A and B are shown apart, each in its own frame.
Chain A
């Protein structure tokens, strides 16, 4: 069965960096686009970033452009989110989510359990 397992969350000071990882299994990881989606405490879902199956096509939400970088290592079945210059408003549960498509952004058929990032001094 499809599994997505995130890791790397924690408490970090404003302005510092953090890297999240998401390991996929139960499907051909290298064949699908992947997303990061976040949810601030008590709030709704907010899309963060997308990468195509081969990493050649990437999109970012405006508030994270220039600060966050999405990448993937297909031989390791792993998705990453490098988060720099973190702000208090980046505090959220971060989910990785599989796309049904390969190259352009579509809908998310599987989600990980999420990892909590808290930005606080």
Chain B
């Protein structure tokens, strides 16, 4: 099974900061990676798919990059609505997708 490691697990930042979250796969997954945002008590919301494609309706301050085993989610200028937990997900295999452990973005 492919394991997904996200870091940091918690990140403290201020409004306006540039924020980067990293996700590492235990083996190459090409560009088969998505990023989700989840707020407390709510379902996850898709941000990025295929590593760098922005989902319709998602603000352009969110961007994704990477391929193979190393991926990043960047928020160019953190907004108050962005304080949440972020998850990566690989969907490379025919044995089902796997999620990273999550990164909680907190107010500094």
Given contacts A104-B94, A107-B89, A107-B91, whether A44 and B99 have CB atoms under 8 Å apart is: yes
Residues from chain B with a CB closer than 8 A to the CB of A60 are: 96
Number of A-B residue pairs with CB-CB distance less than 8 Å in the complex they form: 62
A50 at the interface (CB under 8 A from B): yes
Q: At the interface, is chain B mostly helix, strand, loop or mixed?
A: loop
Q: How far is the CB of A21 from chain B (nearest CB, A)?
A: 16
Interface range for B:
20 to 34
| CB atoms of A107 and B34 under 8 A apart | yes
Q: How far is the CB of B87 from chain A (nearest CB, A)?
A: 6
Given contacts A45-B99, A60-B96, whether A108 and B55 have CB atoms under 8 Å apart is: no
Residues from chain A with a CB closer than 8 A to the CB of B93 are: 105
User: Using an 8 Å CB-CB cutoff, how does the interface string of A82-120 with B read, 1 for contact, 0 for none?
Assistant: 000000000000010000100011111111111000000
| CB atoms of A112 and B43 under 8 A apart | yes
B46 at the interface (CB under 8 A from A): yes
Residues from chain B with a CB closer than 8 A to the CB of A32 are: none
A73 at the interface (CB under 8 A from B): no
B residues within 8 Å of A by Cβ?
A: 1, 32, 34, 36, 38, 43-46, 49-50, 55, 87, 89, 91, 93-102
